[in-house]
Every structure is written in structure tokens, then in C-alpha cells.
Amino acid sequence: MDISKKTFVLAVIGLILLRILLVVFLFNNVPFTDMQSNWRPNFTASYQPDEYVFFIFGKSFADFKPAKSIIYMGYAMFLAPFIYFTGATDPLMIAKPIAIAQGIVLFALAIILIVFLGQYFFKNRKMSLISAALFVIYPYLMYGLWSLIGHTNAIPTFHYQMWIFTMSDYLSAFLVILAFWLFIKFIDRLGDGGRSLWWRAIAAGAVASAAALVRPPNLIILVLFFVYIMYLRRYKSAIVLGLSGFVAYLPQLIYNTYFFKRPWIYGNIVLGSGLPQGGSFLGHWNNPANFWLNFKHFSPNHYFLLFLIAASVMLFVFIFGLRYLSKTNNSRAAIFSSWFLFYWLFYGQFSGSMSQLRYFLPAVPVFIYFFVGSVLYLYGKLRSKDI
């Protein structure tokens, strides 16, 4: 039995208020994670070099003098207004407003989108709310598990999941979630026609490209959207969405060509790291062996066993979650499955992706959907004694 619309709305508001309360607790060291008085954790080994590079690039936009940088412009443009209006000359000077903008505002909007998307997955308000609730509390569940096993990176990993750093992962996650919601809304109205349909296609394409401006791998989302519409033989809609995405992404192509003499380039943003600063996209960073080598971060001796366990769990969640989805909304199974599989498989073989798990943030909602779906599917089978 589902819940009423009024209860549904009140529960969403409650989740947002809970998130705000948890952020307040976080900055007051509840639970204790060695948070400092300036809203900064006592941990600088990883995030600080990235934050500094993002800040410098963002300041160049705030000064209306874009600098040459290997990183993509999306997050720098997001930071520019904060830098401009605060007159910041150091990342610490925008730490608090960025933590509020990302950790509260964007996260709260993400909760709402996750609830909306969940209704397409589950066709049930209650399950959508449960998924959103898991999204709110999963950093604490992860922190508890990491602490229980004595993981040395328990606190940094927890902080990375809270959307509080001056890093592109959080804006990327929000835009990916928004893009999938817009696209599914667009697909639902394909039969209507008219100008509103084109505006929906334009919005989905533009937001997908905006996500790619923040993190280049997100460009695959636009490709997936385009291919899906072509498969449906809605060629005009595919062209509109594709052109919208191209126009939104064009500033990056122009920037790259101007500064680097080629439209496509990538590299490690910490220039002093000694890592390659350009090359083929699937070069230095992606290697299938990283699927198990990344688990050395947890155990240098038993990493392959841990990989097998983790891979088995993910396959279990995907297969049974997909079976559940095929019963609730089979027509959208390809969209949700593509979201799940791309981020799992791409970042699974991405060097260092298991260190703080932040690369997987854009897929956390869909991982939760499939997890809840798999539990519901198996529970239903157990009740019917058909397993």
C-alpha cells in the first residue's frame, strides 16, 4: 500500500531538514571526524591540491581572463561567482559558501530529483522515499563500516561523500542526476509533440553536456541519450537533443583549440604530479586490471578476493534489481541500466577510484535504486516461495 501525496511531500521536506541537520552536526564534529573551526577537515593529503587548481582556474574566469588549464571549465565557471563576489584570493575564503551551496542546496535538490526518478523506477512513492533516505544516510553507513574494519581512510572517505569540498565531483553528480530526470521526462512526452517537446529535448541535451563540462566522462550520457532516441526512430528529436548538447559543449571545444591547438585534451589537474597531461582518453588512467588492483587500497594481500566479493555483490544487485525494474517499468530499463553500468564499469577500471569512492558519486542514486529493487524482488520471491 502506497502513501498519500501529502505524506509524500512532508517526508521529502523532512529528508531535506534532516540533511541540513546532519551538515550542522558535521561542522560541529558530530560524529567526531576532526573537523576544524573553519569548516575544514584535518586532512589535506588529497583534496587540497585539486581544490587549489580549481580555485585558480575559477579565479581566472572571475577576473574575466580565462587562463590556460588542463581541467574542464564547467566547475571553474561554477566557482567564479563565489570568487568574484567574495573577492577571494585563496580557496579557504570560499570554503564556507561552497560547502553550503553544495552540501545543502545542491544536495537538497538532488534529494528531490532522486525521489522523482525513484517514482519512475518503482512506481511507488514509499520506495522512492526509502531510496532518497538511503541517499541521505549512506555516508554514515559507509563511515561506520569503514571504521569497523579499521580502514585508515574512513574519515576522508566519509568527508568526500558529504559534498563539502571545493571539487567538481558534486556538481558533476547533481548535473548527471538532473540530466537523467530531464531525459526520462522528455521520453515520457515523446508522443505529445509540439514546442514543449523540443524544449525538453534541448534541456536534456544541454544539461548532459553541462555535466561533461564538469567531468569529461559524462559526455557519454549525451551519446547514450542520442543513441536511445535514434533507436526509437525519433530522428528529429535526436537531432534537436544532439544539437543542443553540441552547442552547450562548444565553448570547451573552442577553449581547447585556442589554448592547446586541438579540441579534445585531458590530463591530471595537479601539474606537479609528473603524470601525463594529455593523450588518448583511455590511455594512462583506464586499465581493466584496475578492477582488482584498485582493491589493494583495502588489502595489499587479499585484494583479488575482495574484488571477487564486491563484483559478485554488484552483479547480484544489478541482475535482481533489473528483474524488479522489468516488472515495474520495463520501458525505462535500458536508461537506468546504462546509468548503472557505465559508471560502474568505467570508474571501476579508473586508476585510484576506490581510494575515496568519489568518482562514483553520479551513480550513487541508481546503485541505491537497484539495491532496493533487488531486495524487493527477492523478498517477493520468498513470500511466494518461488525461489
Residue 120 predicted with pLDDT over 90: yes
Q: Note the pLDDT tens digit of each residue in 355-370.
A: 778 999 999 999 999 9
- Domain spans of the chain, in order of start: 1-167, 172-277, 286-387
Grid look-up 570568487 returns 83
Taking residue 111's Cβ as centre, other Cβ atoms within 10 Å add up to 23
Q: Which three cell numbers stand for residue 165?
A: 569540498
Do residues 322 and 315 touch, judged by C-beta distance below 8 A? no
Least confident of 40-49, 145-154, 229-238, 261-270: 40-49
* Amino acid in position 222: L
Least confident of 54-63, 107-116, 265-274, 352-361: 265-274
**Confidence grade of residue 28 (pLDDT, cut at 50, 70, 90):** very high
**Confidence grade of residue 131 (pLDDT, cut at 50, 70, 90):** very high
What pLDDT shows up at residue 193?
67
Do residues 232 and 224 touch, judged by C-beta distance below 8 A? no
Q: What is the DSSP string of 330-376?
A: GGGHHHHHHHHHHHHHHHHTBTTTTTT-GGGGGGHHHHHHHHHHHHH
Do residues 210 and 221 touch, judged by C-beta distance below 8 A? no
Q: Note the pLDDT tens digit of each residue in 277-309.
A: 444 444 556 788 888 888 887 888 888 998 999
What's the rounded mean pLDDT across residues 215-239?
A: 95
When the pLDDT of each residue in the chain is averaged and rounded to a whole number, the result is 90
What pLDDT shows up at residue 50?
82
